Amino acid sequence: MLVRIAFAVVLLLAPVMARADVTFSGFLQQNTAFNTREANPDGRHHKWMEERAQLKLDASSGAWHLLAKGDLAWDHLGRQDQSELREAYVDYTASNWDMRLGRQVITWGLGDLVFVNDVFPKDHEAMFAGRPMDYLKRGVDAVKLGAYPEFANFELVLTPHFRESRIPDARRFHLYDPMPAVTTRGTTKPDQGDLGLRVYRDVGGWDAALYLYRGFQRTPSMRPDSMTAPTRIDYFYPQLSVYGASISGRAAEGVLSLEAAYYDSRQDRSGSDFAVPNSQTRLLAGYQIQPVEDLSLGFQYYAERMHDYGAYLVALPAGFPVDKRWSHTATARLTQFFLHQTLRLSVYASYNASNGDRFVNPELRYSFTDRIWGAVGANHYGGKPWGQFGQLARDDNLYLQMRYEF
């Protein structure tokens, strides 16, 4: 309701921006994902089934710019009204600094569905349920300040209220649960915000960036009230700081991307609390080439290393799955265009050599006209029952997306 009021206010305010250059656009969309292996835990046969209309208002006047994107959506799988304000912000642009205030999507880092320095909220459910790419990220309500002195570019993001990533719904996905008998559960969200700083510039023809983040994990950890006879589980978002760097540039025939980050798990620096993720180092190397016309290939190697592995092993309760100190993942993406780039085939595959986790997502997308496009794709998951993708092994699906843009 609040979202709709906010959106209505924005719409009403629009004409007030006298002499402003105003445009309206949007789309109508149908999105359905069919289970191809098993029914959902709630017995339904679809991961997703909804109609959605997006309205986008874009207005600018002098140094000011306003953008508002609101969705009216109806879900057929029990959630019903899913209307939301996707983004709504005001930009002010001066010659060597700028500001963006409001709900906005922020993406950092270089990974393709692998996140090293992208500490901003995602919608993991959207990815697993075959929703279009624009739903993979969630906006944050933030102030973003940009400063552009000669020697480097600065981007400071201040978020007064923490916003978490959306994780898949346990009614639709078969999620790993080490204590299924405990049904009393609660979630505590941080009552603080978070902050991030990105500094970037060109270094000898390479795009170089440094990243700092102080906030919280975006996905929750769980803590039972007792290990021996648990009656209640509390979900919480542990404190986290991230210090990272990335570079990307031309190497031989393609583009090489390198990224690293240190995840400082501030709530448990010794690694002795099993409920809080261990401090980590994350490393990513990516390479993208275009071997022939309309064909693009991308490869990534991604590693995670736990810092206090000894303490982790000691603290881990009996019966919980044991992660390895190192986790090694390889991914590949192929994108091929046909028919004057109106038909696109893309295949993304990910394999974790440390725990066997795997994910394959082929997709075919066709633009019927300049306004109507449709996509058909599949999500296939596999691995150990507690792995990121392994736990979804029964959630394979085939999805359809159809959009009319205006």
Partner 1 sequence: MKYLAIAIAALLPLPSLAITGEEVMKQSQAAFLYPGKDFKARVTMKLIGKDGGERVRELVMLRKNFGAAGGEQKYFMVFFKPADVKDMSFMTYKYPAKDDDRWMFIPAVNMVKRIAAQDNRSSFVGSDFTYEDVSGRDIEDDSHAIEREEKLGGRDCYVVKSTPKKGDADFGHKLTWVDKTNFLPLKEDQFDRKGAAYKLFTADEVAVIKGHPTVIRRTMKNQQSGHRTEAAYANSDYELGIEDSLFSERFLRQPPRKWLE
Query: CB of 329 within 8 A of CB of 355?
Result: no
Q: C-beta of 342: minimal distance to partner 1 in Å?
A: 7
Report how far Cα 29 is from the mean position of its chain's Cα atoms.
21
Nearer to partner 1, 200 or 235 (CB): 200
Nearest to 241 by CA among 220, 268, 223: 268
**Interface with partner 1 includes 290 (CB under 8 A)?**
yes
Return the residue matching tokens 């306003």: 66
Nearest-angstrom CA–CA distance, 86 and 57: 12
Nearest to 26 by CA among 58, 66, 62: 58
Part in contact with partner 1 (CB under 8 A); list of ranges 356-364, 369-377, 378-386, 390-398? 369-377
Q: Which amino acid is at 164?
A: E
**Interface with partner 1 includes 270 (CB under 8 A)?**
no
User: For residue 228, what are the contacts with CB-CB under 8 A and spacing of at least 6?
Assistant: none
Question: Could you give the dihedral angle defined by the CA atoms of residues 367, 368, 371 and 375, in that order, rounded to the nearest 10 degrees?
Answer: -50
H-helix segments, 158-305? none
Q: C-beta of 163: minimal distance to partner 1 in Å?
A: 15
Q: Which of 217, 257, 300, 355 binds partner 1 (CB under 8 A)?
A: 257
* Ranges within 213-242 binding partner 1 (CB under 8 A): none
Part in contact with partner 1 (CB under 8 A); list of ranges 28-36, 37-45, 247-255, 268-276? 247-255
Q: C-beta of 143: minimal distance to partner 1 in Å?
A: 16
Q: Which of 170, 250, 314, 316 binds partner 1 (CB under 8 A)?
A: 250
Nearest-angstrom CA–CA distance, 144 and 195: 10
Q: Which of 153, 192, 219, 267 binds partner 1 (CB under 8 A)?
A: 153
User: For residue 12, what are the contacts with CB-CB under 8 A and spacing of at least 6?
Assistant: none
Q: Which of 10, 49, 88, 106 binds partner 1 (CB under 8 A)?
A: 106
Nearer to partner 1, 21 or 225 (CB): 21
Q: Which of 46, 131, 137, 218 binds partner 1 (CB under 8 A)?
A: 137
Nearest-angstrom CA–CA distance, 245 and 199: 9
Query: CB of 114 within 8 A of CB of 93?
Result: no
**Interface with partner 1 includes 91 (CB under 8 A)?**
yes
**Interface with partner 1 includes 342 (CB under 8 A)?**
yes
Query: CB of 317 within 8 A of CB of 274?
Result: yes
Q: Which of 225, 294, 317, 326 binds partner 1 (CB under 8 A)?
A: 294
**Interface with partner 1 includes 92 (CB under 8 A)?**
no
**Interface with partner 1 includes 151 (CB under 8 A)?**
no
Q: Which of 143, 212, 255, 402 binds partner 1 (CB under 8 A)?
A: 255
**Interface with partner 1 includes 253 (CB under 8 A)?**
yes
Nearer to partner 1, 28 or 222 (CB): 28
Nearer to partner 1, 111 or 390 (CB): 111
Own/partner contacts of 248-256, CB < 8 Å, gap of 24 or more, are 248/110, 248/206, 248/207, 249/205, 249/206, 249/207, 250/205, 251/287, 253/289, 253/291, 254/287, 254/288, 254/289, 254/290, 255/287, 255/288, 255/289, 256/285, 256/286, 256/287
* Ranges within 307-326 binding partner 1 (CB under 8 A): none
Angle formed at CA 112 by CA 387 and CA 372, multiple of 5 degrees: 110
Q: C-beta of 188: minimal distance to partner 1 in Å?
A: 29
Return the residue matching tokens 């000691």: 314
Nearer to partner 1, 191 or 253 (CB): 253
Query: CB of 20 within 8 A of CB of 10?
Result: no
The site map against partner 1 for 49-68 (x = CB under 8 A) is -----------x----x---
Nearest-angstrom CA–CA distance, 292 and 299: 16
Nearer to partner 1, 258 or 393 (CB): 258
The footprint of partner 1 (CB under 8 A) covers 21, 25, 27, 60, 65, 91, 93, 98, 104-107, 110, 132-134, 136-137, 146, 148, 153, 200, 205, 207, 248-250, 253-255, 257, 288-290, 292-294, 296, 337, 340-342, 367, 369-371, 373, 403, 405-406
